[in-house]
Amino acid sequence: MPLFEYHCRDCDREYELLVRNGEPVVCPECGSADCEKLLSVPAARVSRGSLPVTSSSCPPPDAPPCGPGCCRLM
């Protein structure tokens, strides 16, 4: 299901909303339907080894791993 970002023109709040086909968009804060859809960066899935990793992008050795694709976990 697509997750979209919206801005409520009435209460000035930005929020994400899961929107199915034809559902009306309503602000979860104030209930207004005066909302605009924002442009957002799409999520990308990166497989192991597809991006160059430099030592400067790795967390320090005493820090926990930065995530599933952390250079220390490869």
- The domain segmentation of the chain, as residue ranges, is 1-40
Q: What number of H helices and E strands is found in the chain? A: 0, 3
Query: Is-above-0.85 flag for pTM?
Result: no
Q: Kindly report the CA angle at 66 between 65 and 69, in degrees rounded to 5?
A: 95
| 54 pLDDT higher than 80 | no
Return mean pLDDT, the chain.
77
Name the band, by pLDDT with cuts 50, 70 and 90, for residue 3.
Answer: confident
Beta bridge partners of 4: 17
Domain 1-40 = CATH 3.30.70: no
Single out the residue of 1, 29, 34 nearest to residue 15, CA to CA. Answer: 29
Q: Yes or no: say if 5 and 16 are a contact pair by the CB < 8 Å rule.
A: yes
As a whole number of Å, the end-to-end CA separation of the chain is 31
Determine the pLDDT at residue 53. 52
